[in-house]
């Protein structure tokens, strides 16, 4: 299991325990994780995480994408979304 896979599993477990909708999708060799978050405006938005080697690509519903490293700091950043949203 790669660092990116372990990272996404930790995110999945965290949000699943909080009761957020979490879905795994398989696209051939690639797996992606979708997390639905309630925004400040009350609408649900989706963040999609894709493994790219040992990096993670985060995409939002508007098509923006950002590549991050699978680090403890980035794990805490993504976990903080549950508080900010």
25 close to 34: Cβ distance less than 8 angstroms: yes
pLDDT for position 85: 45
Residue carrying the six token digits 């900010």? 84
pLDDT, tens only, 37-46: 877 777 788 8
CA distance 27 to 10: 20
| Cα three-residue angle 55-64-72, rounded to 5 degrees | 35
Q: The pTM is what?
A: 0.80
Cα 85 to Cα 41: distance, rounded to the nearest angstrom: 9
pLDDT exceeds 50 at position 34: yes
Arithmetic mean of pLDDT over the chain: 86
pLDDT confidence bin for 28, thresholds 50/70/90: low
The arithmetic mean of pLDDT across residues 20-49, rounded, is 81
């Amino acid at each position: 299991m790669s660092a990116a896979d372990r990272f996404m599993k930790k995110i999945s477990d965290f949000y699943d325990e909080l009761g957020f909708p979490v879905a795994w999708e398989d696209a051939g060799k690639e797996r992606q994780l979708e997390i639905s978050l309630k925004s400040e405006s009350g609408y649900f938005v989706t963040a999609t995480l894709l493994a790219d080697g040992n990096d993670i690509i985060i995409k939002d519903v508007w098509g923006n994408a950002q590549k991050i490293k699978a680090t403890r700091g980035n794990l805490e950043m993504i976990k903080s979304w549950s508080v900010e949203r």
